[in-house]
Amino acid sequence: NAGVTQTPKFQVLKTGQSMTLQCAQDMNHNSMYWYRQDPGMGLRLIYYSASEGTTDKGEVPNGYNVSRLNKREFSLRLESAAPSQTSVYFCASSAWPPGQGVSEQFFGPGTRLTVL
Amino acid sequence: EDKVVQSPLSLVVHEGDTVTLNCSYEVTNFRSLLWYKQEKKAPTFLFMLTSSGIEKKSGRLSSILDKKELSSILNITATQTGDSAIYLCAVPSGAGSYQLTFGKGTKLSVIP
């Protein structure tokens, strides 16, 4: 099993350009998440999808959109990139069924994005 | 607003030392507390502590939850250079507890 995979690993954009970060998991997990990690700020939740067909905003959603394409895939889109979106982006998934219990999140390897 | 605070933010020790990392939390509906280790890339899961499982141990790493003090500690004994990483603490938060609120992490550096 590959676990959680992300593409691309690295990306450089110019201000105003758009791009989509892809994430897929092969663990049959219900819930998926997008985080950004900045120095001194820890991991901050951008959007999450508790189950297929639903998405919700996290702590820092402005400037981003997401699509839960199917149970396996959850993409993050930057419509008009800004330098403030320079960060490392992590996708994660968990087996967390809605309303039941707690399970750990498994993380992908990350995408390092630079916006010039 | 749910909050997780970790201390210290960074720590440098020599191989063989024992270290204690701290995590305190404020959360509306406590369910669990999770510890992750982050080396160069993705965070990897270490422990989950709950009301029914307040102490976990794996090799040289151990963790204890103190629900009265709303805190947890992560102990690493006989540290090795491979323990150098950022250690993250997180609690489920938000309606339905789908989200994890992370602390800013403790950066541990173990020098030979």
Supply φ then ψ for residue B111, to 5 degrees.
-105, 145
Closest approach of B42 to chain A, Cα-based (Å) = 5
Mean pLDDT over each residue of chain B, to the nearest integer? 91
pLDDT at B62: 97
Q: What are phi and psi of A62, to 5 degrees?
A: -65, 130
Q: What pLDDT, in 10s, does the model give residues A54-79?
A: 999 988 999 999 999 999 999 999 99
Chain A residues with beta carbon closer than 8 angstroms to that of B100:
33, 43, 45, 105
Mean pLDDT of B61-82: 95
B103 contact A CB<8A: yes
Inter-chain CB proximity B45 and A106 less than 8 Å: yes
Query: For residue A99, what pLDDT is reported?
Result: 47
Among A41-50, B12-21, B93-102, the least confident range = B93-102
Q: Which of A43-57, B26-40, B89-103 has the lowest mean pLDDT?
A: B89-103
Helix, strand, or coil here: B97? helix
Mean pLDDT over residues B68-91, rounded?
A: 95
pLDDT at A101: 57
CA dihedral A47, B72, B34, B24 (to 10 degrees): 0
Task: Give the integer Cα–Cα distance in Å for B38 and A98.
Answer: 27
Answer whether residue B107 shows pLDDT above 70: yes
Taking CB atoms and an 8 Å limit, are A99 and B96 in contact across chains? yes
